[in-house]
Chain A
């Protein structure tokens, strides 16, 4: 592309290879002046309010920072403590992985499946159905109704139901019993998962060229599952990638629901995730350096997952 063409062009006035590279680069920057102008407003704000705080946090992860005294440089100490000393962190990692492995793929598939099914409906009905599916995401802290359903006394809906049918003899402490906490949190996270990716998939389905389906029918596509696999999915790869990133972030950072349902701290740390661990150190104990180290580790884990998923999605269809 343009890169190679400008680099090959010999430039008589500047003989040294390094400065030739530089003028080549400069030429290219000048050639793309419009692109930089389009990018500039966003880039400036993004760097100031997102990149700068993130970089600061990563630097803070190498310090001992209690927000009262100036940060003290401690090198890798926060990280060694995290992996070698902090037992609770390992519980948090284990829980987070369980949540991520279960809710990540399931919520992704659910978003795709329901977006695809809803897309078949007529426009007005579709907008309304989309609202119903999206309801858990739009109505604030509505997941609190689950605390009523799984309330530990005999009046909680779940207990009441099971007692009436004689399945249990005494109320179950759903949100205190470590056997039930994880499945319940997973259920609620899944219930709330038809969010951003769901809407993006619906929008993405709109962009698919309708003539592709007609061509597909002629080429011997027989049912709607084949249609989905051979036409729909390959046509919306960019949206699928977007949805994957959303699923990764959401499944790795589940904390709000866990705290609201199982309490903070939860019984035997059964609902402890990496992010609740981070909140504990950052907002309760004010060990900002340590909290930043947790955030950095989580960040790297998510980037790694995203790279793997991206590789896999490229080969789709």
Chain B
């Protein structure tokens, strides 16, 4: 922020050096973005060029045209895959942010029997390798008769440990006095949660939305979804890629389309993470 720049201990030279350093690292880090974008516009002969070339030389929209031709003939419309992914990502993220924030509020602002233990279990659960829980998970879904429905992907997302841990860490920083004064004024816990706590930890849930959306958007649903009309877009991408050489161009185009959605979510949320003057006054 501009205000930060005018502080005493900043020099123009130092700022410039650091910025150039950042820019250099940023170029190195952005390779995959550049590669995905450039691939989507490569004609087939460049996609299979040997030795491979990083950047596109004769950009073309052929891949997108092929994609639309293929879409017209596909069994399930392509938009259906997009819709499925959106349903899973939106409902999953919405519920996750809501329930995790509520639980984080309880654990952060109250000491009650079991609170400390529950929080420890949540943190520990982040460290268990998910590869071995697939079978018990499947059995639970089968028992609930949720196999082959969105529920199998959406509902577990509501109880992911990451969101609770993230929200709790941010809520721990809210000064207790702020909430106490609201309680004295007779505000209900529900109102305190919505009108004081959530606006204060806005950077936290904006970040959580990015993380959760991105994770759910990438779900292939392989273990739980079997009907073609329920499958999400990463699954469609896998299918197209397995079409081999004939489908490589289309796969590159889908890869770009698939990446654009989380990138959009990212940019919208990330530019809002910055605390505005109106909300910063809430802090101690």
1/0 per residue, CB under 8 A from B, across A17-35: the answer is 0000000010011011011
Residue with the greatest number of chain A CB neighbours at <10 A, chosen from B131, B168, B255: B131
Chain B positions within 8 Å of A67 at CB level = 135
Give the contact-size bracket for chain B.
35 or more
Q: Is the CB of B284 within 8 A of A209?
A: yes
The interface of chain B, by Cβ under 8 A from chain A, is 1-5, 7-10, 14-15, 18-19, 21-22, 25-33, 35-36, 50-52, 54, 99-100, 102-103, 105-107, 109-113, 115, 118, 121-129, 131-133, 135-137, 140, 155-156, 158-162, 164-166, 168-170, 172-173, 189, 193, 201, 203-204, 206-207, 210-211, 214, 218, 255, 258-259, 262-263, 266-267, 270-271, 273-275, 280, 283-284
From A117, A194, A227, give the contact of B29 (CB < 8 A).
Answer: A194
Q: Is the CB of A53 within 8 A of B140?
A: yes
Q: Is the CB of B30 within 8 A of A130?
A: no
From B36, B115, B129, B275, give the contact of A206 (CB < 8 A).
Answer: B275
Do A48 and B8 contact each other (CB < 8 Å), given the known contacts A114-B22, A136-B32? no
Q: Which residue of A lies closest to B105 (CB)?
A: A38
Q: Is the CB of A238 within 8 A of B173?
A: yes
A81 to B160, CA, bound (A): 33
Q: Is the CB of B126 within 8 A of A203?
A: no
Q: Could you tell me the distance in whole angstroms from the C-beta of B133 to the nearest C-beta in chain A?
A: 4
Do A49 and B159 contact each other (CB < 8 Å), given the known contacts A57-B133, A223-B9? yes
Q: Is the CB of A51 within 8 A of B132?
A: no
Since A45-B159, A131-B266, A299-B124 are in contact, a sample of 19 more A-B pairs with Cβ atoms closer than 8 Å, ordered by chain A residue number, is: A46-B125, A57-B128, A117-B22, A126-B271, A127-B270, A129-B22, A135-B33, A138-B214, A142-B32, A155-B50, A157-B54, A191-B28, A203-B273, A204-B170, A238-B169, A239-B170, A252-B127, A291-B132, A298-B129
Do A48 and B140 contact each other (CB < 8 Å), given the known contacts A35-B112, A196-B211? yes
Q: Is the CB of B133 within 8 A of A46?
A: no
Q: Is the CB of B32 within 8 A of A200?
A: no
A199 to B215, CA, bound (A): 14
Chain B positions within 8 Å of A142 at CB level = 31-33, 35-36
From A34, A209, A306, give the contact of B283 (CB < 8 A).
Answer: A209
Q: Is the CB of B169 within 8 A of A48?
A: no
The interface of chain A, by Cβ under 8 A from chain B, is 1-3, 25, 28-29, 31-32, 34-36, 38-39, 41-54, 56-57, 60, 67, 114, 117-118, 120-124, 126-140, 142-143, 145, 148, 155, 157, 160, 191, 194, 196, 199-200, 202-204, 206-207, 209-210, 213, 217, 221-224, 227, 238-239, 241-242, 245-246, 248-249, 252-253, 275, 278-279, 282-283, 288, 291-292, 294-295, 298-299, 302-303, 306
Q: Which residue of A lies closest to B30 (CB)?
A: A132
Chain A positions within 8 Å of B26 at CB level = 129, 132-133
Chain A positions within 8 Å of B255 at CB level = 140
Sorted nearest first, the 6 A-B pairs with minimum C-beta distance are A142-B32, A45-B159, A155-B51, A42-B103, A238-B169, A32-B112
Chain A positions within 8 Å of B1 at CB level = 120, 122-123
Q: Could you tell me the distance in whole angstroms from the C-beta of B86 to the nearest C-beta in chain A?
A: 17
Q: Is the CB of A245 within 8 A of B126?
A: yes
Chain B positions within 8 Å of A191 at CB level = 28-29
Q: Is the CB of B159 within 8 A of A207?
A: no
Q: Could you tell me the distance in whole angstroms from the C-beta of A132 to the nearest C-beta in chain B?
A: 4
Q: Is the CB of B133 within 8 A of A203?
A: no
From A28, A121, A135, A278, give the contact of B30 (CB < 8 A).
Answer: A135
A49 to B122, CA, bound (A): 12
Do A42 and B132 contact each other (CB < 8 Å), given the known contacts A145-B32, A207-B173, A221-B9? no
Q: Could you tell me the distance in whole angstroms from the C-beta of B163 to the nearest C-beta in chain A?
A: 9
A204 to B166, CA, bound (A): 10
A114 to B107, CA, bound (A): 31
